[in-house]
Amino acid sequence: MFTAPQLEEYRREGYVLFSEFLSPAEIAALRADLDSIATGNSLASHDKTRLEMEPDQPPAGRLIRRLYEPCTHYPSFRALSDSAKLLDCVEQLLGPDLIFHYSKINMKPPHIGSVVDWHQDWSYYPLTNRDSVSILFYLDDASVENGCLQVIPRQHLQPLIDHTTGGFFRGKITEKVDESHALPLEGKAGSVIFMHCMTPHASLTNTSDKPRRTLILSYRAADAYPIYCGVMSTSADPHLRLVRGQYATAARVTERRIPIPRYETKVASLYELQEQARAAEKK
Ligand SMILES: O=C(O)CCC(=O)C(=O)O
């Protein structure tokens, strides 16, 4: 459970870092599962529905960038997403009726791990209100060198920042970002960041010789209803689960203006979208 000061910090800053949330034994078990899941994939041969490889490696290269929906596919990650310890915290943030939304693991392998540009998660999946949280579990010690998460605090009550150019969604903030208030959130393996869906965040390339694996789970209040935006909305459906309380009988609408992410070509991952946007900016 969160203490009152931790809850206050989340509400004020738009995030809170919870140290030692997972024990060394829990971390070791998750890492062992991750190693066995990752085994046998290469850039040339892997299941694109389950994972995304780092693109900048030879065809036989085995560096994975992201695993999709581990809480749907693998029991240990599913158990964590259903655990009372975690859901008690989520309930303190979002209330008693909770929908599990999605999960992923960003691998950031040594020396190559991809950059993540500034963005707000809500821009990818607009909801009728802002009661949605992204929860990042550090599975390795995370530092600036291996690309720990960075956040810009106190932005979560402001309007959504523009993520478009020419009317198309770019997967990243397209205005100039004032990084003077950005905070790198370094933490030991087992630390967890609870981050409001409107908090701008980013991470740098991994320049170190250590991995920075991060499990990310997202939950929303049952009455934070998704705004339909084509395949991006429906592709989440198989992974949605009511994990506490009741389904909502009505959406709670707090937003007057809800930008809809419109993709210029096809729906792409965060990494691909941001790579395309950076390439277009250089032209
Ligand atoms: O892995 C990271 O550093 C951040 C990832 C992120 O923001 C995302 O996958 O939405």
Q: Which of 178, 54, 203 is nearest to 115 (CA)?
A: 203
- The token duo for 281 is 């900016």
- The token duo for 11 is 């509400």
The single residue listed with the structure tokens 């198309």 is 168
Q: Is the pLDDT of residue 117 over 80?
A: yes
Q: Which domain holds residue 240?
A: 4-282
Cα(105) to centroid(ligand 1), Å:
9
Domain count, the chain: 1
How sure is the predictor about 266, in pLDDT bands with cuts at 50, 70 and 90?
Answer: confident
The confidence score (pLDDT) of residue 265 equals 84
Instruction: Tell me the residue ranges of DSSP E strands in the chain.
Output: 15-18, 51-53, 64-68, 98-106, 116-119, 132-138, 150-151, 164-165, 168-169, 183-184, 192-196, 201-203, 214-221, 241-244
Question: Residues with Cβ within 6 A of ligand 1?
Answer: 106, 116, 121, 149, 201, 203, 214, 216, 270
Q: Is the pLDDT of residue 100 over 80?
A: yes
What does the alpha-carbon distance between residue 79 and residue 74 come to, in Å, rounded to a whole number? Answer: 9
| Residue in 52, 116, 192, 194 to alter for ligand 1 test, most ligand atoms within 8 A of Cβ | 116
How sure is the predictor about 129, in pLDDT bands with cuts at 50, 70 and 90?
Answer: very high
What does the alpha-carbon distance between residue 20 and residue 2 come to, in Å, rounded to a whole number? Answer: 13
The confidence score (pLDDT) of residue 28 equals 98
CATH number for the domain that contains residue 157: 2.60.120.620
| Cβ within 8 Å of residue 48, ≥6 positions away | none
For ligand 1, atom 1, name the residue with the nearest CA: 106
Q: Is the pLDDT of residue 267 over 80?
A: no
Mean pLDDT of 57-67: 94
